[in-house]
Chains A and B, each alone.
Chain A
Amino acid sequence: MSYVAHDASAFAPPAEVQEVELYHAKTWLGKYVFSQDAKVIAIQYAITAIGIGVVALVFSWLIRLQLGFPNTFSFIDPSNYLQFVTLHGMIMVIYLLTALFLGAFGNYLIPLMIGARDMVFPYVNMLSYWVYLVAVLLLVASFFVPGGATGAGWTLYPPQAILQGTPGESWGIILMLVSLAVFIIGFTMGGLNYVVTVLQARTRGMTLMRLPLTVWGIFMATILALLAFPALFVSAIMMILDRTLGTSFFMPAIVSMGQKLEYAGGSPVLFQHLFWFFGHPEVYIVALPAFGIVSDLLSVHARKNIFGYRMMVWAIVAIGGLSFIVWAHHMYVSGMNPYFGFFFATTTLIIAVPTAIKVYNWVLTLWRGNIHLTVPMLFAIGFIFTFINGGLTGLFLGNVTVDVPLSDTMFVVAHFHMVMAIAPVLAVFGAIYHWYPKITGRMLDDTLGKVHFWFTFVGSYAIYYPMHYLGFLGVPRRYYAIGGTDFIPESVQSMNAGITIAALIVGAAQMVFFYNLVRSYFKGKPSGGNPWEATTLEWQTPHTPPTHGNFGRELPVVYRWAYDFSVPGAPQDFIPQNVPPPEAATGARDRA
């Protein structure tokens, strides 16, 4: 590691070099495959997650083909259709979004943004990725076992998940549950790292209240995940036992295919409680990192400090806390005590308060900012629109009386895709366009990026806006075919066909993105160290892409928050976090 004096910290008092024992890889295998460097692990997480995500994207095309053009495709039978629906949901929520936000962005950004050389437990961090890979492979293996993958819906509700008649009830469901359990073990290894690194490894001067909001979002989401994933683990273990050893945790006495089964007395609602105790925090596990990333993108590309930083931090904490006491709003039609419904509707609506605070603060950050409509900024603004849309339909579904008729209709599908699929994915794209120059040293192509943005953004609305109307009409979700149903007019079919065409176009537009990723890696414009003129520490590294150890010989010292943009009197419109105060005000050379 060579010492490079970079001007930003040249006048800082000689920083005490922290003794950090970094494991330096000696072999190619140790450097690129079994690497303990958080940045390499991040890339591995990202490639695996996006790879399996593309599989789920193809599944969504197949779902849409069936819905848009029924009786056309002979290779989609009802069982396949249910398997596609199940795996699309499961992969997107857990294996793509959770792994990408926490495993990939968490690993890449946390050490760089807080001024650390690496995660605090690099070996465990490496294991975390390999365990995640095993979970993904188990999931993929379930496509190929006898009976195929499970088709129980991504919520895997018993009793149907393990009864004859549901696709994959023999092997698919077991592999699915084992894969989830393995995923959770792997995630816990990574999650310990993210939390402890943020708490322990911040560089000098990086107080909690100077952390970029991206780190806050990932940090809080990791805490949620560490505490909520055990609920999924518990339900997976108990369902595996119900399926394999004949226990009756969730299985009631039941007659299946004319045969009385051995089960007796179990409670499917117990599973729903456990599942949603994980499932609702999961929404915020993917939303909080998106909140953080979007806050930082808006601030950088509007050249303006984030509005209400402390409020933003407290809103993240409040949302995280509240997300644990709203789970039963997914269960209004499960037959639970109606008073519970009243309680959970109230808590659900309360969560709108900190969320609305965040939205107002984003808008106020843009207000009179020097807005650069770069590709990351377009995605960040797109996120705000989409999140508001999805959030507002959440108010409908949070109220018991409105929810009951809308339950299990396309309205629900439209709502959660807007709020926790499209919105976080827009944040992911914004983040990739923003940080790609740091990861590779090259810019992504701007024109291709804008094409990608407009097709994705407008296309998503073309998919999901009409879907709300289908829901109002009562079109049910998860159905292979609607058939002749009295209350559903003929025109629903043409709307479904239109949605399918939009979905195919949006999916194809993602190929532009992948092409851009690959092409720019070789032919992109060299970016330099800080192309967006951002303030956070990852942009102040001596090398781009950062080398092992991130910061050369000396760790940066932090003197200010991450949002010193357009400070009156400052020579530039941004002041990096590691620039000491007097120099920033009077110009660095006076002090020399």
Chain B
Amino acid sequence: MTITLVFLALLLAVVVWWLVKQSINVQPWVAGGSTEDVHGSVLVQPTLKLGLWVLLAVVTSLFALFISAYAMRMKLGDWNPLPEPGLLWLNTGVLILTSAVMEWTRAAANRGQKDGVRTGLFAAGVLTVAFLAGQLVVWQQLHASGYFLGANPANDFFYVLTALHGLHLLGGLVAWGRTTAGVQRGVALGAARLSVGLCALYWHYLLLVWLVLFALLLST
């Protein structure tokens, strides 16, 4: 549970720091002075972005708990590490590229280049599907060489963690689909900018999660 606790401690430190800032030298029982701080109460603009950050905190808690379980289960005698197929390195490269394309798309949206946004979103979608297909091929390779689900906890965790990560990418593809449809319909630039920015953030985050998971798999 150490990993989860470290994550929670960091999160709590942020909350406490922010709360101290809000409450220090404040006398709640004193009335008045409220017309100036019109936007003082809003933490992050726009609200959707804060929503995504909170969601990412929840997803981080989920992965941290899985990694904690991984670490605890690994210590029990019957752990037989499985070999990492070379294809995983290629998949990792594809995911890094996806993230880079997303970043490029975001920059294009900020510059107001609609064609760039369209091309970027399309490329990112294709690359994401390629990554997911690559992961499926890895599953098949492992299965073909006898690393079944249920044969060893190392295999079980490999399948579960990759599946969980893949499902989160699939969920991202739903948001990606809505964004792409919006851009095709020609929504206002501001709205497109926001959705593309949120997609980029989510893809970077899932890249980070994948790199942590991959490092974990390689090191054990």
- The residue that B15 contacts in the complex, of A309, A310, A317, with Cβ under 8 A, is A317
Question: Do residues A226 and B57 form an inter-chain contact, with CB atoms below 8 A?
Answer: yes
Chain A 8-46 interface 0/1 with B at a Cβ cutoff of 8 Å (1 = within): 000001001000000000000000000000000000000
A309 / chain B contacts, CB cutoff of 8 Å: 28-29
Question: Do residues A266 and B153 form an inter-chain contact, with CB atoms below 8 A?
Answer: yes
- Among B31, B43, B160, the one with the most A-chain Cβ atoms within 10 Å of its Cβ is B31
Chain B 22-60 interface 0/1 with A at a Cβ cutoff of 8 Å (1 = within): 110010110111110110111110010011001101100
A227 / chain B contacts, CB cutoff of 8 Å: 8, 11, 57-58, 61
Q: Is A296 an interface residue (CB 8 A)?
A: no
- What is the CA–CA distance of A247 and B22 in the complex, to the nearest angstrom? 48
> Given A16-B38, A264-B78: A580 and B32 within 8 A (CB)?
yes
Question: Do residues A13 and B35 form an inter-chain contact, with CB atoms below 8 A?
Answer: yes
A13 / chain B contacts, CB cutoff of 8 Å: 35
Nearest CB of chain B from residue A561's CB, rounded to whole Å: 4
- What is the CA–CA distance of A195 and B18 in the complex, to the nearest angstrom? 15
**Residue count of chain B within 8 Å CB distance of chain A:** 48
Chain A 247-267 interface 0/1 with B at a Cβ cutoff of 8 Å (1 = within): 111000000000000101111
Question: Do residues B26 and A246 form an inter-chain contact, with CB atoms below 8 A?
Answer: no
B211 / chain A contacts, CB cutoff of 8 Å: none
28 intermolecular pairs with C-beta atoms under 8 Å apart: A13-B35, A120-B47, A188-B55, A196-B54, A199-B50, A200-B41, A200-B42, A200-B50, A205-B37, A206-B41, A207-B26, A207-B40, A208-B22, A230-B62, A230-B65, A237-B160, A238-B160, A246-B149, A246-B150, A247-B150, A265-B153, A266-B76, A305-B29, A317-B15, A321-B16, A558-B34, A559-B31, A563-B29
Question: Do residues B65 and A199 form an inter-chain contact, with CB atoms below 8 A?
Answer: no
B57 / chain A contacts, CB cutoff of 8 Å: 226-227
Q: Is B86 an interface residue (CB 8 A)?
A: no
- What is the CA–CA distance of A262 and B77 in the complex, to the nearest angstrom? 17
Give the residue name and chain of the A residue nearest to B51 (CB).
Answer: A196
- What is the CA–CA distance of A43 and B53 in the complex, to the nearest angstrom? 29
Question: Do residues A192 and B19 form an inter-chain contact, with CB atoms below 8 A?
Answer: no
Nearest CB of chain A from residue B161's CB, rounded to whole Å: 11
- The residue that B37 contacts in the complex, of A199, A204, A230, A249, with Cβ under 8 A, is A204
Question: Do residues A192 and B149 form an inter-chain contact, with CB atoms below 8 A?
Answer: no
Question: Do residues B73 and A267 form an inter-chain contact, with CB atoms below 8 A?
Answer: yes
> Given A121-B51, A226-B58, A264-B78: A209 and B149 within 8 A (CB)?
no
Q: Is B136 an interface residue (CB 8 A)?
A: no
Interface size of A as a range: 35 or more
Q: Is B92 an interface residue (CB 8 A)?
A: no
B137 / chain A contacts, CB cutoff of 8 Å: none
A561 / chain B contacts, CB cutoff of 8 Å: 28-29, 31
Question: Do residues B34 and A273 form an inter-chain contact, with CB atoms below 8 A?
Answer: no
Chain B 3-23 interface 0/1 with A at a Cβ cutoff of 8 Å (1 = within): 011001001100110010011
Q: Is A410 an interface residue (CB 8 A)?
A: no
- The residue that B58 contacts in the complex, of A188, A237, A247, A273, with Cβ under 8 A, is A188
- What is the CA–CA distance of A136 and B2 in the complex, to the nearest angstrom? 34
Nearest CB of chain A from residue B55's CB, rounded to whole Å: 6
Question: Do residues B150 and A245 form an inter-chain contact, with CB atoms below 8 A?
Answer: yes
B8 / chain A contacts, CB cutoff of 8 Å: 227, 324
- The residue that A200 contacts in the complex, of B1, B31, B44, B65, with Cβ under 8 A, is B44
Nearest CB of chain B from residue A16's CB, rounded to whole Å: 7
- What is the CA–CA distance of A149 and B81 in the complex, to the nearest angstrom? 37
Give the residue name and chain of the A residue nearest to B43 (CB).
Answer: A199
- What is the CA–CA distance of A230 and B55 in the complex, to the nearest angstrom? 12
Question: Do residues A557 and B26 form an inter-chain contact, with CB atoms below 8 A?
Answer: no
Chain B interface, >50% SS class: helix
A205 / chain B contacts, CB cutoff of 8 Å: 34-35, 37
- The residue that B34 contacts in the complex, of A204, A208, A248, A310, with Cβ under 8 A, is A204
B34 / chain A contacts, CB cutoff of 8 Å: 204-205, 557-559
B69 / chain A contacts, CB cutoff of 8 Å: 234, 238, 249, 270, 274
Nearest CB of chain B from residue A426's CB, rounded to whole Å: 27
Question: Do residues A196 and B150 form an inter-chain contact, with CB atoms below 8 A?
Answer: no
Q: Is B187 an interface residue (CB 8 A)?
A: no
- What is the CA–CA distance of A203 and B39 in the complex, to the nearest angstrom? 9
Nearest CB of chain B from residue A23's CB, rounded to whole Å: 16
Q: Is A165 an interface residue (CB 8 A)?
A: no
A435 / chain B contacts, CB cutoff of 8 Å: none
Question: Do residues A273 and B32 form an inter-chain contact, with CB atoms below 8 A?
Answer: no
Question: Do residues A325 and B62 form an inter-chain contact, with CB atoms below 8 A?
Answer: no
Question: Do residues B26 and A265 form an inter-chain contact, with CB atoms below 8 A?
Answer: no
B160 / chain A contacts, CB cutoff of 8 Å: 237-238, 241
B66 / chain A contacts, CB cutoff of 8 Å: 234
Question: Do residues B153 and A249 form an inter-chain contact, with CB atoms below 8 A?
Answer: yes
- Among B15, B43, B62, B77, the one with the most A-chain Cβ atoms within 10 Å of its Cβ is B62
Please name the 7 residue pairs, one residue from A and one from B, whose CB atoms are nearest each other, closest first: A205-B34, A265-B78, A560-B31, A230-B62, A246-B150, A247-B156, A209-B28
Q: Is B72 an interface residue (CB 8 A)?
A: yes
Q: Is A171 an interface residue (CB 8 A)?
A: no
Q: Which residues 213-233 in A have Cβ within 8 Å of B in the complex?
A: 223, 226-227, 230-231, 233
B23 / chain A contacts, CB cutoff of 8 Å: 208-209, 310, 313-314
Q: Is A581 an interface residue (CB 8 A)?
A: yes
Question: Do residues B1 and A273 form an inter-chain contact, with CB atoms below 8 A?
Answer: yes
Q: Is A277 an interface residue (CB 8 A)?
A: yes
Q: Is A330 an interface residue (CB 8 A)?
A: no
B35 / chain A contacts, CB cutoff of 8 Å: 13, 204-205, 557
A50 / chain B contacts, CB cutoff of 8 Å: none
Q: Is A543 an interface residue (CB 8 A)?
A: no
Nearest CB of chain A from residue B175's CB, rounded to whole Å: 13
- The residue that B41 contacts in the complex, of A196, A207, A226, with Cβ under 8 A, is A207
B62 / chain A contacts, CB cutoff of 8 Å: 230, 233-234
Nearest CB of chain A from residue B201's CB, rounded to whole Å: 15
Question: Do residues B150 and A248 form an inter-chain contact, with CB atoms below 8 A?
Answer: yes
Q: Is A202 an interface residue (CB 8 A)?
A: yes
Nearest CB of chain A from residue B31's CB, rounded to whole Å: 4
Chain A 182-208 interface 0/1 with B at a Cβ cutoff of 8 Å (1 = within): 000000100110011001111111111
- What is the CA–CA distance of A267 and B75 in the complex, to the nearest angstrom? 10
B150 / chain A contacts, CB cutoff of 8 Å: 245-248, 262
Q: Is A564 an interface residue (CB 8 A)?
A: yes
A477 / chain B contacts, CB cutoff of 8 Å: none
Nearest CB of chain B from residue A181's CB, rounded to whole Å: 11
Give the residue name and chain of the A residue nearest to B46 (CB).
Answer: A200
- What is the CA–CA distance of A520 and B206 in the complex, to the nearest angstrom? 53
Question: Do residues B19 and A310 form an inter-chain contact, with CB atoms below 8 A?
Answer: no
- What is the CA–CA distance of A262 and B54 in the complex, to the nearest angstrom? 41
> Given A199-B43, A204-B41, A234-B65: A273 and B28 within 8 A (CB)?
no
Nearest CB of chain B from residue A470's CB, rounded to whole Å: 34
Nearest CB of chain B from residue A159's CB, rounded to whole Å: 15
B22 / chain A contacts, CB cutoff of 8 Å: 207-209
> Given A238-B69, A249-B69: A192 and B156 within 8 A (CB)?
no
Q: Is A210 an interface residue (CB 8 A)?
A: yes
- What is the CA–CA distance of A248 and B150 in the complex, to the nearest angstrom? 7
Q: Is A584 an interface residue (CB 8 A)?
A: yes
Given A234-B65, A249-B153, A266-B76, 12 additional A-B pairs, CB 8 A: A192-B54, A199-B43, A200-B42, A207-B40, A208-B22, A209-B28, A241-B160, A246-B149, A248-B156, A270-B72, A317-B15, A324-B8
